Amino acid sequence: MGIIEFNWDIHYKCNYRCPYCCFYGQWQELSRFNKYFSVEKWIVAWQRIYEKYGSVYITMAGGEPIIYPSLFDLIKELSRKHRLDIITNLSCSKSQLVNFVNQLHSHKLYFSASFHPLFTSFEAFLEKVLIIKEKGILSGINYVAYPPELKRINYFKDKFKENGLNIVILPYRGEYNKIVYPQGYTEEEKGIIYNLSSDLSPEQQEQLSQCMQPDRPKGKLCYAGQKYAFINCDGQVYRCTQSRKVLGSFFKRDLSFLNDALPCEQEVCPCEFRWLVKDN
Ligand code: SF4
């Protein structure tokens, strides 16, 4: 079956309030769904996955993982067996980060750092990014092309470049000034985004164009649920972040994946297009 991948929303809580976040304005409501299980309970369940499927790829997001209780204990243990990518705003202190990365040895752990200039200074973010880069565990830096922030994109891209770092521009998905994005970007704005993305890998380029011109996925065959699944903070496992098709509880032995690719039932696919069966 190949390596299985998981997206895991560890909790719906964040210490930033970025207006371009898909959860903006809903944090209080969403926090009602949070369930906090012990590190041991998660580790036992991930060990079961390891015994059944071998080492898998896990992308952990939320909410903001870095403020999850005992996060460092959890990810240190988990990344001994599985490859783990944490999408984070890196808002922990510098000393916490240094102390943590010094404990890593043969762990398969990476950080995707999201830069939110409305909530952190470039300098404070950079010094933490450089710590994880030096340790060899930086998988990327993300920056959302929020329309009123577009004017600063070139400036920040250059500042990161001066420090030997590339940023990945993520198209904004949502409404701003009654315009729906990413469809609403002007030709000039699209040009800025594509120009700044010319150094991305072919796979990242393809993902960017999918995000810029989203197709309607409904009815197309998709591997979500077979090669990939989404874990919610309450332990329920779904076919993907959009689908309400439950594959089971992450904590139960009878959790099982689909045998085949199935047609997508959603009108939009915000970020997982890559699981669509090619040419269908
Ligand atoms: S195309 Fe996207 S929304 Fe549809 S099933 Fe696949 S991952 Fe989910």
Q: Which residue ranges make up each domain of the chain?
A: 5-214
Residue-wise pLDDT for 135-183, tens only, equals 999 999 999 999 999 999 999 999 999 999 999 999 999 999 999 999 9
Please check whether the domain covering 5-214 is classified as CATH 3.90.1570.10: no
Inter-residue contact 199 to 166 (CB < 8 Å): yes
Burial readout 221-248 (b: 16 or more C-beta within 10 A, e: otherwise): bbbbbbbbbbbbbebbbbbbbbbeeebb
Q: How far is the CA of 218 from the centre of ligand 1 (A)?
A: 8
Inter-residue contact 214 to 182 (CB < 8 Å): yes
Tokens of 168: 């990945």
Question: What three-state secondary structure class fits 246?
Answer: strand
Give the rounded distance of the alpha carbon of 104 from its chain centre. 22
Probe target for ligand 1 pocket from 230, 269, 277, 278, with the most ligand atoms within 8 Å of CB: 269
Query: Would the CB of 214 count as within 6 Å of ligand 1?
Result: no
The protein residue with its alpha carbon nearest to ligand 1, atom 2, reads: 269
User: Quick check: 270 pLDDT over 80?
Assistant: no
Residue-wise pLDDT for 45-92, tens only, equals 999 999 999 999 999 998 999 999 999 999 999 999 999 999 999 999
Query: Would the CB of 222 count as within 6 Å of ligand 1?
Result: yes
More confident residue, 110 or 196: 110
